[in-house]
Amino acid sequence: MTSLTHYSKREFVEDPIGHRMVTVFESPFARTPHAGYGALNLVEAILDVPPGQTKRFAGVEDFELVSLVLFRGASPGKQDTKIERLVQLPLHFQEVKSFQAIGESDMNDRLIFARHTGFLLLGPDECIAVLHQTDDGSYTFCEVYENNDLGRVRSLAGFYAGSIDYEARIRRISDLNVIDTKQATSKAVGDMYWWAGQTEVVSPLQIDRMHQTLTLLKAHEPNAPDARTESGAVRKVWFIDNGSVDSLSHLTRCADGWVRYPTWQDAWYFGAWVNPRKLEMITYAEQDVSHVICETKEQFAKELADMARFFGMSRRPSMFCMGKDGSEVSFEGLTFLKGNVKTICFDTGARAKNENGEWNVPLSGTIKLDHPLVEQLANGDSIELPSDAFEMDLLDIRTFEPGYAATALKSDGELIVALKLNGSDAGRMSAYLQL
């Protein structure tokens, strides 16, 4: 059982040319100190188990099907990358294979083993990610390996260090919404297409799990609940083959209440629209369509805030012109007010560009001059402007922060609009509009 020769045959490394796992003795490492080093340390660990007790090390008991993976960038005793941590991944949904977590102590033993030897220890039917960093910590590599129920190893692509904790979550088909179900089904079909014929590394049990996954996903799809955003709004997605923003013109007509949401990246392949009447928004991005359907005004406001947070403060000038003080720029804004409306800019004291050379988006708002309260203002009168008479720029995230209020004062043919942010007079600013 503790044959060094046997475990040496269980040492694997990824072939850099064929991108397949081969034994160390079939690789360029065959005549280096790497060969046999993992097996030697494993044998020592097994022999260290007291007589009469089950041979066990780091959560592994079936050593006949154990695998030792010499992962990229490591050398025995001294790695050119620092092994940060190991993360066990549940590759399957719970309905297909119930996840059996390796204990914290056992994972720590494997981490120590990997740091000492450069080999990742894998028991049968396990999948583990290795995260290892450059010496200066500037980059973290992520390698993922699965050892199947027959002791055959494969390297899995498509995993990244930044999202590995998300990939390590427990997943259930019964919890999937309709979008997640479709995405999982596409992945399952891709897995079947890619791996089903590779019988040298994929076992009959793995193939059976792929079939089970696909069958269960297709059965779940008709009953899957709607996908929802963080605000609780319904989200639907679809794909338009060989499409453009014009492909959605029949869905985003102005007559139906749709308004173009301007962004700096608008093009034939990208566009966004919002509808304050229907409480909906649609985004087209390179043939992918996302349609958000809000059920309340509160949800709609939260969705607009998310859009402003993502698009608004990275806006670029829509127009450059020459003013008496030199170059001046204009930025597009968004308002839902209709009628005789005017846009006014407030002087925040910020320069046109920040220290990084990025444009500072001005703070602006729109006032409805034909609103009854505004029209009835007498000289010297002041009123607090309601939301249907004044609206801050909907592309600006500051619009959705609580505590802003606007007042209007009529004075000698001018309308002075004062704006208070965050409920404090400290941020009070004014703008002047000739009547």
For 117-158, write each residue's pLDDT tens digit: 989 999 999 999 999 888 888 889 899 999 999 999 999 989
Phi, psi of 11 (to 5 degrees): -90, 125
pLDDT at 430: 84
Higher-scoring residue by pLDDT: 136, 41: 41
pLDDT for residue 227 is more than 90: yes
pLDDT at 90: 96
Mean pLDDT value across residues 186-196? 92
Higher-scoring residue by pLDDT: 280, 79: 280
For 358-412, write each residue's pLDDT tens digit: 777 888 899 999 999 999 999 988 999 999 999 999 999 988 988 888 999 998 8
Q: Give strand pairing partners of 127.
A: 146
Percent of all residues in the chain with a pLDDT value above 90, rounded to a whole number: 60
pLDDT at 57: 92
Coil, helix or strand at residue 342: strand
Q: Is the pTM of this model over 0.85?
A: no
Which pair of tokens denotes residue 17? 């040319």
Residue 363 CA to residue 374 CA, distance in Å, equals 21
CB 376 within 8 A of CB 389: no
Residue with the two structure tokens 């498509």: 158
Mean pLDDT value across residues 71-91? 75
pLDDT at 78: 45
The letter for the amino acid at 281 is: M
pLDDT at 77: 45
Which pair of tokens denotes residue 75? 């050398």
Confidence class for position 188, pLDDT limits 50, 70, 90: very high
Q: Considering only 245-254, 317-326, 397-406, which range has the smallest mean pLDDT?
A: 317-326
Residue 188 CA to residue 207 CA, distance in Å, equals 11
Mean pLDDT value across residues 287-307? 96
pLDDT for residue 331 is more than 90: no
Residue with the two structure tokens 């729109």: 366
pLDDT for residue 1 is more than 50: no
Mean pLDDT value across residues 227-244? 95
Confidence class for position 423, pLDDT limits 50, 70, 90: low
pLDDT for residue 74 is more than 60: no
Phi, psi of 223 (to 5 degrees): -105, 0
The DSSP 8-state label assigned to residue 285 in this structure reads E
pLDDT for residue 100 is more than 90: yes
pLDDT at 352: 74
pLDDT at 328: 65
Rounded (10°) CA dihedral 191, 197, 200, 202: 30
Which pair of tokens denotes residue 246? 């014009």
For 52-61, write each residue's pLDDT tens digit: 677 889 999 8
The DSSP 8-state label assigned to residue 40 in this structure reads H
pLDDT at 28: 85
Q: Considering only 85-94, 241-250, 322-331, 398-407, which range has the smallest mean pLDDT?
A: 322-331
Higher-scoring residue by pLDDT: 348, 203: 203
pLDDT for residue 321 is more than 80: no
pLDDT at 317: 65
Average pLDDT, the chain: 88
Residue 229 CA to residue 231 CA, distance in Å, equals 5
For 332-368, write each residue's pLDDT tens digit: 889 999 999 999 888 777 777 778 877 778 888 999 9
Q: Give strand pairing partners of 22.
A: 13
pLDDT for residue 93 is more than 70: yes
